[in-house]
Chain A
Amino acid sequence: MAHPGRDHLPGSRRIVNRLLPIQSPFPIRVALLLSLLFWGICFLLPLALMFLVSLISRGPYGGLEWTWTGENYVRLADPLVIGIFLKSFLYASGTTIVCALLGFPLAYCIARSSRAWQQWLLVLVMIPFWTNFLVRTYAWVLIFRADGVINGFVKFLGWTGDPIPLLFTDFSVFVGLVYGYLPFMVLPLVAALERISIHLEEAARDLCATRFRMFWHVVIPLSKPGWVAGAVLVFIPSLGAFITPYLLGGGQSLMIGTLIQQEFLVARDWPFGAALSFGLMGTILVLWGWLGRKSTEQAAG
């Protein structure tokens, strides 16, 4: 269909028309183009620059020296670095598992409640989720400190010994991670569980399945998309967590996130920091791709 007056458009408009030949008003196309431009400059370009920096060497005073080297990636194989990667992996997997175990019963109760209850429960789960992450983590510092809530309570009960060391331990980091990311597990699970027809559960029960068998063979397999989404949403941020290990782990408990921050802001070794960041990103993308392929395979099969 010939567009009236198309040939008389000013030059800039014609270019936008050519690039995004869609039947929508001009401002829409401009917005699309600007978004792509913004994404390119503020997301793609920084990552590309980071990749370049990870391939050069560090200057004598913490600056950058533009000579190409693969040394930064070789340093990733340092046992210390590998240890920190493994530890972060362990934390993130543990967090995911505990979040799943704690989150499933709550998600199930929310999904199977009456409509009014459901709304209230969802709001209850959302409020901490919308509260500042830093503040929520700081609250655990108050709870775990030597003169904090737990030790105060223990003393109140009659404990006279030294305060129990809780803050700056692996335990405090772990609790902080589970607390921080639990809602990310609950919400996708609720969405997935809601989609399972209650009749399927009733059918299983009618066929004399025990409650456990009903959950194990019907509810859990059918809510798989929720499990996968929740696991991704919990695992990835906890693998790259920075605030939690920084505030609750102190200097003792380094994770990848705190190590990257140290390389950038303390040691000022940007090339190595960039290599670490790419190590983390590569790990995440591989895992994500693997999970994605697995779930599409399952959907096809």
Chain B
Amino acid sequence: MTRFPTMFILNSVAVLCFLYLPVAVLIVLSFNDSQMGVTWQGFSLRWYDKLFHNPAFLDAMINSLIIALASTGMSLLLGVGTAIGMERLRGRAVSFINMGLVLPLVIPEILLGVALLMMFVLIRMPLGFLTIMLGHGVFSLPLTIVIIRARLRKLDPTWEDAARDLGADSWRVLTHVTLPLLKPAIVGAALLAFTVSLDDFVVTFFVAGPGSTTLPLKVFSMIKTGMTPEINALSALLVLVSILGVGCSWCYQQRVGRYAEKRLL
């Protein structure tokens, strides 16, 4: 490959190593038998064993899943409709909504976290599952809308026109043409919203209450109260989950993205 300067290739390899060094360290250390430090004392699965017998960890995992499912469901329910509706809006309304959409994604998360905390406390809403779910919705809903709108803009409008010419009313066009064409984007948005909710620490940290500890909060408290290799095992598991997540969504996009139009026929 003569197109790339050698320097570029070397640099890229170095950057990729830099990106994967911490991930590799986590995974390797999670199998280390040693109680403290990083010296290798033999392969062991005992930290995983300990982790899976830790009820607090299992609770946190269930909490995380419930919250991620709920906030993803809400984002999809509102986001898909909003994205489709926005396509029909004209003029200033669209740029206004666009601006509003981007803002929660642009400002640092800590601002969202403290602002939500303050509001929930001022309106006397008890901190817990509901507040975390709403907090995650603030960024996963805009994410969903942005992803689905990107796909909508690429859709060929003749599909919908054809359906209308064949006598479909607007509801039928929506359920039989637009939504099936959007399916890859909807799945992609769902995966992203789910992962983002599962991973979120900062907003959750501020709006969580007693009894609603999520996995990242659990990791954080484990780091603060003294580092046991259990955290390494948990972290390695989280890395594995995200690798699976990226892999699945990638394979899905590869397979379905190209054939969505063909399936309609």
Contact = CB atoms under 8 A, between A and B. Distances in A.
Given A42-B138, A130-B245, A274-B118, A102 B250 contact: no
B77 interface: yes
Contacts, number: 229
Contacts of B77: 31
Contacts of A105: 7-9, 11-12, 15
A143 B12 contact: no
B219 A20 contact: no
Given A28-B174, A127-B243, A260-B114, A138 B38 contact: no
Contacts of A128: 19-20, 23
B61 interface: no
A138 B170 CA distance: 51
A30 interface: yes
21 contacts: A23-B170, A32-B81, A39-B100, A49-B119, A50-B119, A102-B18, A103-B15, A123-B246, A124-B16, A127-B246, A131-B23, A131-B239, A132-B219, A133-B201, A138-B26, A138-B231, A182-B18, A237-B109, A274-B114, A280-B111, A284-B107
Interface in B20-34: 20-23, 25-26, 29
B238 interface: yes
Contact of B141 (A38, A232, A240): A38
B12 A106 contact: yes
B104 A243 contact: no
Contacts of B19: 124-125, 128, 179, 182-183
B88 interface: yes
A257 B245 contact: no
Interface string A28-52: 1111101110110011011101100
Chain B interface helix/strand/loop/mixed: helix
Contacts of A247: 223
A130 B118 CA distance: 29
Interface of A: 20, 22-25, 27-32, 34-36, 38-39, 42-43, 45-47, 49-50, 53, 102-103, 105-106, 108-109, 112, 119, 123-128, 130-136, 138-143, 147-149, 152, 179, 182-183, 211, 232, 236-237, 239-243, 247, 257, 260-261, 264, 270, 273-274, 277, 280-281, 284, 288
Contacts of B12: 105-106, 109
A108 B25 contact: no
Contacts of A46: 112, 115-116, 118-119
Interface string B221-255: 00100010001100100110011011100100000
Interface string B38-79: 110000000000000000000000000000000000000111
Chain A interface helix/strand/loop/mixed: helix
Contacts of A22: 85, 88-89
A25 B141 contact: no
A128 B82 CA distance: 31
Nearest to B108: A240
Contact of A109 (B8, B22, B115): B8
Contacts of B185: none
Contact of B16 (A29, A106, A108): A106
Nearest to A146: B37
B88 A24 contact: yes
Q: Which of B12, B80, B174 has the most CB of A within 10 A?
A: B12
B217 to A, nearest CB: 9
B9 to A, nearest CB: 6
B38 to A, nearest CB: 5
Contacts of A45: 119
A112 B107 contact: no
Contacts of A288: 106
Contact of A31 (B26, B82, B115, B223): B82
Given A130-B195, A132-B235, A277-B110, 4 more contacts: A29-B85, A42-B138, A46-B116, A105-B9
Contacts of A20: 85, 89
Nearest to B16: A124
Nearest to A137: B22
Contacts of A35: 78-79, 81-82, 141, 145
Contacts of A257: 108, 110
Nearest to B122: A49
A237 B108 contact: yes
Interface in B89-126: 89, 97, 100, 103-104, 106-112, 114-119, 122
A240 B110 contact: yes
A42 B80 contact: no
A147 B243 CA distance: 29
A136 B23 contact: yes
Contact of A243 (B5, B21, B202, B206): B202
A50 B138 contact: no
A102 B18 CA distance: 10
B146 interface: no
A280 B220 CA distance: 25
A128 B145 CA distance: 24
Given A25-B170, A25-B174, A38 B38 contact: no
